[in-house]
Structure 1
Amino acid sequence: MNDQPLSGPDAPRGCPVAHGSADVTRLFGPEASTDPLGIYERLRKEHGSVAPVLLEGDVPAWLVLGYRDNRRVLDNPRQFSRDARIWRDWREGRVDETSPLIPMVGWRPDCVSQDGEPHRRLRGAVTDGLLAASSRGVRRHTTYYANKQIDAFADAGRADLVADYAEHLPMLVLTRILGLPAADGLRLVESCAQVFKGGEGALEHNGRIMQILSDLTDRKRAEPGSDFATALLEHPAGLDHDEVVSHLRLVLIAGHTTTSNLLARVLHLVLTDAARLSGLVSGQLNISSVVEEVMWDTPPLSVLPGRFAAADLELGGHHIQEGELLVLGLAAGNLDPEVRPDSAVALQGNQAHLAFSAGPHECPGQNIGQSIIEIGVDVLLHRLQGLRLAVPSEELSSTATTWDSRLDNLPVEFSV
């Protein structure tokens, strides 16, 4: 690895950094948790559309900041593989199996870790299973659980729409889709969050998720049902036990984290804009346009892991070496001034955002997530009269991990 510092306009344009270099920006720690957008913009000014960074454990990576460069990486799996088994730092022993990055970046027997025919085989099973699940009443399940969550605080006249609503509603719907009992889903909310947060607890919580889903797979093999787990087990692609469990984990973690985050962000936008709130309540404004705006400005995943250079190549003026890790800056790409010179301009009807990734690995369950959000917002606004923020909007805060930025809380008041 190149030990030269990589800061300033005269920085070398090759391999990222040696582990532990003090001159390279870390995508974790205090600054990254409070001002990720500021970090992305500083990196863009210093390095252009691709920048060297350090991930947790001082693991080197390239952060892709430009919209067009993100699309190039996402659309070209032959150049930028999703197979972590070619990750050079892992192969050469610089990333331990106990690293908190492994649950996010490491190889698993699921479709997002594969390319080519193995990917097509596994993704076909996931897509078919999700299509069947979405036809079995996702909107009805969401309406039921939304009302049930609201019932718990409707008489209080106040609530935190993050902790009391957005964190739990998607998980309750997803557990119904997967075939899990609701009680297991509520236990998994914390574990999903911890996997994204990283740190010492990430592997333990990932293990808890895997055990619950392994037990589910065994139960559904013995007692099939009308659920996603059974659909995977019975699919002609012939998934084995580990493949079924890994795909249940994929849908659970990705589906819950992105949907809960996006739901909270949509509610935040609505409650800080009186015109949007009244338009939604009156039916003059379509909720899908608000969701679309949020996906451009604050996508549910800020950074997407990960891709690996399949050969030495050039990207954004930098020389990327074979086996090096790239992480995709979805939030930075959506705000790239080359494609969006004025971030304040409305992008209604423009669905070219990166919020659901792109290319062959684009999120296969986005329609389910959007249905949960649209129904969740609609039920809430029509159940709670006089809904308003309980604190000034400037007091609301977010906390970021390497991968996402989430509202800490969303306190509201309403008429009883």
Structure 2
Amino acid sequence: MTQCPHAETAAAVPLSGPRFQTEPAQLYREMRRDHGSVAPVVLDGDIPAWLVLGYRELHQVAGDPVLFSRDSDLWSQWENIPDDWPLLPMIGRKQPSILYTVGPRHVERARMISDALEAVDPFVLKRHAEEFADELIDRFCTTGATDIIASYAMLLPARVLARIYGVSDETGDALVGSINDMIDGRERALAGQQHLATTMFDLLAAKHVEPGDDVASRMLADPGGFTDEEVAQDLMVMMAAGHQPTADWMGNSLRLMLTDDRFAASLSGGRHSVAEAMNEVLWEDTPTQNVAGRWASRDTRLGGRHIQSGDLLLLGIAAANADPQVRTDGSSLTGGNNAFLSFGHGEHRCPFPAQETAEVIARTGIEVLLDRLPDIDLDTPAEQLTRRPSPWLRGLTDLPVTFTPTPATGGRA
């Protein structure tokens, strides 16, 4: 067995359990109090890792791709990882996706993805989001009540992304469960990953025969000479990273607006408050809580810890956003402060066109919902709302609401 990197440190924190659902902010505060800015954690199967809690330390790790590499082959724990480990979709070996590509090839793949997304007309993207939003709202607007997560937020991003990527609407709907299973890292994670992979390879086969004005076709036509395997893997990343965090961004923002008096007065249509709620969520309740990962390419020190070559470091996005060293006033940040780390940092951060795509989908989804159902209200005590049991993404299991029944529009554009 490979030496545990935490042999010197007692009480490593399991990166699982109900507290990631119920009180993650308190959990991160306790970890920072007990361990400092870099905490020892254990993953499923007692696999050791480090969780980077400090804003400056996370900035350092994400900004140094040589010392803290994305090359998962460096990991010293591979001999202890079973083939059916449920976290393999999140921490994979020899996955030819952009997540694990380093050096010039990573730069070239990031350019290919950015170019393919940037070519999407923003007005067309918004129109797709409005069209699907209206269609989904039509399904429940006459009833006066719904679970806004299951009937709306969990469906909208995947449908819009499927449309711009070139996937059929029906196939896009079927991907939602697979993506959720893969990201939650439980017993169905590998099956979810396989279904997503099959869908992407089928898409590329169809686009070779009949290219279209879509992201997949543009990626295939890129002059960088990428293989179908590379393009399919990158599309998997783009679909998973684009759908679930965006759905959770919508859900978490709506929860804030429906439970916080600062936003109550604007539910009749104030556009500015939607942007403020979304920005505050990226600081205080970010969908992307923890990210795997980086691997130390040599022995080093970080946050007072001795990091051994081959150690896995997890980026504690939520903890770093709340780091008291950079949040000295303890205030809620709802204005134009975009220094949060919710989209990552460094050369492996979320490409800017992907961030813009997510923001257009989430904001349009919220605005259309509030336009159509202006008196929407929470149908359960706020303290009874629950979250999915994932240490990676933070999202609501449900968000029951009531509203005055309104007629369906017939899927207006």
User: TM-score normalised to the size of structure 2?
Assistant: 0.93
Mapped partners of 1:30, 1:17: distance in 2: 26
Match of 1:25 among 2, 13, 21: 13
After superposition, the Cα gap between the structure-2 partners of 1:33 and 1:290, relative to the gap in structure 1 and judged at 3 Å, is: closer
Match of 1:325 among 305, 309, 312: 312
More displaced, 383-392 or 290-299? 383-392
Q: Secondary structure at the match of 2:119?
A: helix
Aligned to 1:173: 160
Q: Secondary structure at the match of 1:267?
A: helix
> Is the contact made by 1:61 and 1:326 (CA closer than 8 Å) also made in structure 2?
yes
Aligned to 2:341: 354
> Is the contact made by 2:283 and 2:333 (CA closer than 8 Å) also made in structure 1?
no
Mapped partners of 2:299, 2:317: distance in 1: 23
Aligned to 2:84: 98
Correspondences of 1:129-144 after superposition (within 5 Å): 129-135=116-122, 137-144=124-131
- Residue 375 of structure 2 corresponds to residue 389 of structure 1: no
Aligned to 2:408: none
> Is the contact made by 2:269 and 2:374 (CA closer than 8 Å) also made in structure 1?
no
Mapped partners of 1:290, 1:35: distance in 2: 20
Match of 2:57 among 55, 66, 69: 69
- Backbone CA RMSD of aligned residues: 1.8
After superposition, the Cα gap between the structure-2 partners of 1:52 and 1:134, relative to the gap in structure 1 and judged at 3 Å, is: farther
Letter in 2 for 1:357: G
Structure 2: gaps spanning 5 or more residues: 406-413
Mapped partners of 1:253, 1:39: distance in 2: 26
Q: Give the C-alpha shift of residue 205 in structure 1.
A: 1.2
Structure 1: gaps spanning 5 or more residues: 4-14
> Is the contact made by 2:130 and 2:368 (CA closer than 8 Å) also made in structure 1?
yes
> Is the contact made by 2:21 and 2:386 (CA closer than 8 Å) also made in structure 1?
no
- Residue 214 of structure 2 corresponds to residue 227 of structure 1: yes
Q: Give the C-alpha shift of residue 36 in structure 1.
A: 2.7
Mapped partners of 2:301, 2:329: distance in 1: 28
- Residue 39 of structure 2 corresponds to residue 59 of structure 1: no
> Is the contact made by 2:277 and 2:334 (CA closer than 8 Å) also made in structure 1?
no
Q: Which runs of 4+ in 1 moved over 6 A?
A: none
User: TM-score normalised to the size of structure 1?
Assistant: 0.92
Mapped partners of 1:136, 1:247: distance in 2: 25
Q: Give the C-alpha shift of residue 53 in structure 1.
A: 0.2
Q: Give the C-alpha shift of residue 271 in structure 1.
A: 0.9
Letter in 2 for 1:123: A
Letter in 2 for 1:373: A
Correspondences of 1:120-135 after superposition (within 5 Å): 120-135=107-122
Mapped partners of 2:389, 2:139: distance in 1: 29
How many residue pairs get matched?
401
Letter in 1 for 2:73: R
Q: Give the C-alpha shift of residue 50 in structure 1.
A: 0.2
After superposition, the Cα gap between the structure-2 partners of 1:205 and 1:22, relative to the gap in structure 1 and judged at 3 Å, is: farther
Letter in 2 for 1:246: Q
Aligned to 2:361: 372
Sequence identity percentage: 38
Letter in 2 for 1:67: Y
1:247-275 deviations in whole A, cap 9, x for unaligned?
Answer: 11001001001100100001111111344
Mapped partners of 2:160, 2:342: distance in 1: 21
> Is the contact made by 1:388 and 1:413 (CA closer than 8 Å) also made in structure 2?
yes
> Is the contact made by 1:134 and 1:368 (CA closer than 8 Å) also made in structure 2?
no
